[in-house]
A and B are shown apart, each in its own frame.
Chain A
């Protein structure tokens, strides 16, 4: 007991005690399932017979590696992510820049702008399923009035663009709020000084604003990349991954492999590949941010 009190009073050790509960929780919630998953990725595990697992080496990994559907889902996830994230960053940055001074005055407007972000992705999918309905959906009705009748948003022709737009609607506010917060850290004096020196808007953006918010954009881009790459809810609700496997993301592939096909081992192997793919943008982002800090 005395020893414990001595430790708690020692600044060198108190930090470990303070984070110990969180570390234990994370080990339990994340660590244990991760190790369990890693082990079972080398076993044949079926949903209907979890107590009858058989070691099969790297067979799960080779099956995933050789599965054209897996690579098709990776391709879809990658293309979808790059397109959506780029557009969200451009839009989020643009909105923050153009409306900055206005929103500083009327901060309460920001709450409304953040509403799409507060909606659960699955609910977003359900909402748009109704909004885009050919017969009772509001969007086709108004487009028809404006002279654009008969647009079928969820056919093969348009479904990819529709999904991108829905993701942009939901997550641009995330980029916006980060950039908006970043813009507030830029000193007004520097901006004033640059105006006096004759810098135009583009020059001020290029030399002052952009360098300041670049780490924020990279961070936002990283978070959005990870989140979008593993997209599931919206797409599953709207298209089920179809037609065929046209809109099957890697998460939908993993889900179907586990629960529709009952092949848990293979789905774990696929999810480990997903983890590996996710480490790449993490590495790039961290390198960039650390280098910026050193500068």
Chain B
């Protein structure tokens, strides 16, 4: 009995030592991601890496997921606390400046491994959106930007129906001071967008088949400000220049004017003041609204027979309308970067180098991701990103600045304050943040 006991103990000890030996042959790299379609897509890429190149590199990648709600706050808190629980972080563009002190620039690692050319697969604007103080801190994995989604059946009718065209001219002359001709959405200016919205609003045109011509997202939320920024930048406006607020400008007044024309003429539902992505989609997919400007992720649900049975085959997409400086569309990315406090940065960078290849990004795209890589992403999206993409100011204060803008702009959008007053207050708040 005593002898058996010793044999069992020895066997357990040997197993224990063996497991350490086996583990010691491969380094485990932990990558933080948020749950959803993006992580499902990335898991496929990770699995393939682990089964192939990972074995050669001696690296196994494990994904760690925080809940989506409050994800970025949790990540920020963990990084600020110098966590080593993940080696690869998941920074988005808009908090890159704040996370940068806890991230490691990645270009030196690419250079060290002779893989600097890998970065050429990404669109320049998307790499800029992951850079802070001229340092690249993350690879863009999912690009987010905006498109105009409209009812192509209604627009076709408007263009081809003389009665409708005549009425459209009358409405635009009355409300915009200029008689416009309807045109294809890809060639819209903001005035054309407003004209279309007014025409398809029942309270203005009682023959309109839709209740509202468009639906704006006006909730006090930074992602809604990013949509408004498309209008601002298309008129040559800026938010920050030379470390001072540049918001209060004729371009910003014009951009607000565009929105207020739609709001004050009820071309967007009154409840828009609390709308964001989901509600805007609902308004279009229920057939109540003839258009919206929304994040590109909206397209799949608007064109899904299951989710939008009334309109799935009637939705067209176009670039956001043009202002005096042409079309401009806000870009932000989700990305993957190196945790500065990790002890496995070299190993983690090997996985990043693998990710920055067309094969890996193609696999990511095929499984539901949206990587900004030419030749991988939908060609139409690629054109928009390449030709029109811009990033707002990327700094430590990016989110506070957008929060102040959201607060004051939503006051104007709900007619609590005038445009000029809102811009002055926002301007003052932004300068205060930049001075701190």
* Smallest beta-carbon distance B247→chain A, Å: 16
Flag whether A256 is at the interface (Cβ < 8 A): yes
Flag whether B113 is at the interface (Cβ < 8 A): no
Are B414 and A259 in contact, with the CB atoms below 8 A? no
Are A50 and B81 in contact, with the CB atoms below 8 A? yes
A133 to B270, CA, bound (A): 11
Residue numbers in B under 8 Å from A242 (CB-CB) = 219-221, 273-274, 406-407, 410, 414
Cβ-defined partner of B408 (8 Å) among A159, A238, A244: A244
Residue numbers in B under 8 Å from A153 (CB-CB) = 271
Flag whether B345 is at the interface (Cβ < 8 A): no
Flag whether B27 is at the interface (Cβ < 8 A): no
Residue numbers in A under 8 Å from B271 (CB-CB) = 133-134, 152-155
Cβ-defined partner of A238 (8 Å) among B102, B221, B274: B274
Interface of chain A, main secondary structure: loop
Cβ-defined partner of A261 (8 Å) among B274, B403, B414: B403
Instruction: Output the nearest chain A residue to B278 by Cβ-Cβ distance.
Output: A129
Are A135 and B80 in contact, with the CB atoms below 8 A? no
Bits for B92-124, please: 1 = Cβ < 8 Å to A, else 0. 000000111110000000000000000000000
Residue numbers in B under 8 Å from A261 (CB-CB) = 399-400, 403, 433
Cβ-defined partner of A262 (8 Å) among B400, B407, B413: B400
Instruction: Output the nearest chain B residue to A162 by Cβ-Cβ distance.
Output: B274
Flag whether B218 is at the interface (Cβ < 8 A): yes
Flag whether A215 is at the interface (Cβ < 8 A): no
Q: Which of B254-262, B281-289, B378-386 contacts A (4 or more CB under 8 A)?
A: B281-289
Flag whether B65 is at the interface (Cβ < 8 A): no
Are B80 and A243 in contact, with the CB atoms below 8 A? no
Flag whether B125 is at the interface (Cβ < 8 A): no
Are B98 and A240 in contact, with the CB atoms below 8 A? no
Residue numbers in B under 8 Å from A51 (CB-CB) = 80, 82
Are A245 and B400 in contact, with the CB atoms below 8 A? no
Residue numbers in B under 8 Å from A41 (CB-CB) = none
Residue numbers in B under 8 Å from A262 (CB-CB) = 98, 396, 399-400
Are B416 and A48 in contact, with the CB atoms below 8 A? no
Instruction: Output the nearest chain A residue to B284 by Cβ-Cβ distance.
Output: A135
A239 to B283, CA, bound (A): 18
Flag whether B54 is at the interface (Cβ < 8 A): no
Residue numbers in B under 8 Å from A238 (CB-CB) = 274
Flag whether B306 is at the interface (Cβ < 8 A): no
Cβ-defined partner of A48 (8 Å) among B98, B269, B403, B407: B98
* Smallest beta-carbon distance A250→chain B, Å: 16
Bits for A51-66, please: 1 = Cβ < 8 Å to B, else 0. 1000000000000000
A244 to B271, CA, bound (A): 14
* Smallest beta-carbon distance B215→chain A, Å: 9
Residue numbers in A under 8 Å from B407 (CB-CB) = 242, 244-245
Given contacts A156-B273, A242-B219, A243-B218, contact A260 B400 (CB under 8 A): yes
Are A47 and B416 in contact, with the CB atoms below 8 A? no
Flag whether A92 is at the interface (Cβ < 8 A): no
Instruction: Output the nearest chain A residue to B412 by Cβ-Cβ distance.
Output: A244
Flag whether A49 is at the interface (Cβ < 8 A): yes
Flag whether B76 is at the interface (Cβ < 8 A): yes
Are A134 and B269 in contact, with the CB atoms below 8 A? yes
Bits for B362-392, please: 1 = Cβ < 8 Å to A, else 0. 0000000000000000000000000000000
Are A239 and B219 in contact, with the CB atoms below 8 A? yes
A242 to B414, CA, bound (A): 10
Instruction: Output the nearest chain B residue to A247 by Cβ-Cβ distance.
Output: B220
A159 to B273, CA, bound (A): 10
Q: Which residues of chain A from 245 to 271 have any CB-CB distance to chain B below 8 Å in the complex?
A: 245-246, 256, 259-262
Bits for B221-265, please: 1 = Cβ < 8 Å to A, else 0. 100000000000000000000000000000000000000000000
Are B99 and A48 in contact, with the CB atoms below 8 A? yes
Are B98 and A155 in contact, with the CB atoms below 8 A? no
Given contacts A47-B76, A261-B400, contact A156 B101 (CB under 8 A): no
> Would you give 28 A-B contacts (Cβ < 8 Å), ordered by A?
A47-B77, A47-B98, A48-B80, A48-B98, A48-B396, A49-B101, A50-B81, A51-B80, A134-B288, A135-B282, A136-B286, A152-B271, A154-B271, A155-B273, A155-B274, A239-B219, A240-B220, A240-B221, A242-B221, A242-B273, A242-B274, A242-B406, A242-B410, A243-B220, A243-B416, A245-B407, A260-B400, A260-B403
| Chain A residues packing against B (C-beta within 8 Å) | 47-51, 133-136, 152-156, 159, 238-246, 256, 259-262
